[in-house]
Structure 1
Amino acid sequence: MEKFKTLEILQKTPNSRVFHLYLNRPSHRNALSRDFFSEFPKALASLDQNPNVNVVVLSGVGNHFCSGIDLGTLGSISENSDSDDRGRGGEKLRRNIKYLQDAVTAIELCRKPVIASIQGACIGGGIDIVTACDIRYCTDDAFFSVKEVDLAITADLGTLQRLPAIVGYGNAMELALTGRRFSGSEAKQLGLVSRSFGSKEEMDEAVRLIAEDIASKSPLSVTGTKAVLLRSRDMSVEQGLDYVATWNSAMLLSDDLTEAISAYTQKRKPVFAKL
C-alpha cells in the first residue's frame, strides 16, 4: 500500500470491508498542507478501486480532526499567483483554488461511502472536508468553526455550497458570517452530524458498528444509493426520479438482489460478491 506524508490508510480488522483513512499530521493539529491536496485524491481513488473496501471511515490522528488549511499553504497560493499582469495572476489563482477544491470533491467521487468521525477541532478546511462526507459523527467536546471570514477570505473549498443543504440556509449563513465556534452537541442540534457521543471511545465503537453494518450490505445498492442521492441533490424531483429509473434499469437485476431475497427467506445473513 502506498505511503503518504499526510495520511495513513489502515484496515483495523482482518477481512473487514471497512478501511480507515487518517489525517496524519497530529503535531500540526492535522492542518492541511500542500502535500495533503495531492495525496488525498490518490488515497481515495485507491480505496475506491480496491474491491476489498466497502466503507471508508475518515478521522484524524491525535486530539483533533483538522484545524484547517496550513497557513503556509495559504501563503504559497497567494505567492504563486503573483504577476505583473492582473488577469494572468487571477487566472493562476483560480486554477490553484480549483486544484484544492478537486481534492475535497474526491470524497464525493469515491463510490464507497465515507463516514467522518470527528473529535477536537474541525475548523475551516476541516468543515469543507466533513460536509463532503456522506455521514458525520462527533464527540460532544468537538468544536467547529467556519473560520475563513476571520482570515479575510471567502470559504472556497465547498462549505458554502454543501453546508446549507445539511444545516439549512439560515444556519449556514449565520455560521459562515460570524465564524463563531460551536460545539459537538450544537452540531448535532443543527443536523451537521447524525449523532454526538460523550467520549471518543464511545464514538469509535458506534462508528465501527455502523460502518460494518453498511459494509455488510449489497455494494451495488450502497454505491448506487450514494450516487443517486448526490446526483438528485442538484436535480428536480422529476429529474431525480428519471435518473434513478435509468440507474436501476442497469443495476437492479443483479446477483445481489437474488442473494438478498434468498437470505431473507432462509433467515440467514446475505453474502455479497466484491465490487
Structure 2
Amino acid sequence: MWEIFVAIVLGLVEGLTEFAPVSSTGHMIIVDDLLFKSNELFGSEIANAFKVVIQLGSILAVAIIFWKRILDLLGLRKMKSVERKSGNRLSLLKIFVGLVPAGIFGVLFEGYIDEHLFSVKTVAIGLLIGAFLMIAADKVKPRIKTATVDDITYKQAIGVGLIQCLSLWPGFSRSGSTISGGVLLGMSYRAAADFTFIMAIPIMAGATLLKIIKYWSFFTPDVLPFFIAGFISAFIFALICIRFFLKLIEKIKLTPFAIYRIVLAAIILFIYL
C-alpha cells in the first residue's frame, strides 16, 4: 500500500506542476527525495521509468482538454460556418515553427544538460531567473496585439520558440518561459497559455515515447500497479490544474507564481545546500 501511496503523491505533484509555471523539476526534487529514495524497492531505473509514465498521464490530460483544437490542426473536424468566417486559424506550421528552436538545442545539448545541469543549485537558479522573467512580463505590459491563439503570427511563434529554449535549463519551466515570452511579444495571457499547452503535446509526447522505448524492460508485472496508480493520479490532477490555470491566468497574471517560485528556490537551497 505504501508504494501505491507514493505513486499517487508523485502523480499529484506531476499533474499539478507540469503545466503550471512553477517548475515540476523543482517540486520533484523535494518529493522524490522524501518518498522515492526512502523506498529500496525502486531503483533509479524504475524511478526513471515511472516518471515517464506519470508524464504520459499529464500529456493525455492536455490532449483531452484541447481535443477539438487538435482535430482542427489535423484537419479531422468539420468547422462550423461561424468558425470559417472568423478568418485566422492556428496552423500546424506555426506549432512546428514554435517547436524547432528548442528541438534543435535539445538534441545538440541533451548530454551536457543531463550531465551538468541536473543539480539542486542549477534548478534553484532556474527557478529564480524564470521568476524574474515572469515578473518582467507582468511589469512591461506591452500592448496586446494577439487576443486569441488563432491570431498568433509566425514572428510570435518563432519568438516563443526561441524563448522556450530557456526551459532546457532545469527549473526554468517550459510554461513559465513560453507564457512570459508570449506576453512580452504582445499576446494575451490566455493566447500565450493556449499556445504553450498545444505546443507541449507533440514535444512532450515525442520525448516520452523515446523514454518508454529506453526503459521498456522495466515495465514488469510487479511494478504495474505502482505505474498505473501514478498514471491515473497524474492524469486527474493535470486535468484539474490545466482547466483551473486557464481560467485563472487572465485574472492574476504571472507574478503570484513568480513569488511562489522564489520561495520554493529558497526552500530547496536551505534544505539541500
Based on CA coordinates, which of the two structures has the bigger radius of gyration?
Answer: 1
TM-score with structure 1 setting the length: 0.29
Considering fraction of residues, name the structure with more strand: 1
Specify which structure has the bigger relative contact order, considering alpha-carbon pairs within 8 angstroms and separated by 6 or more residues. 2
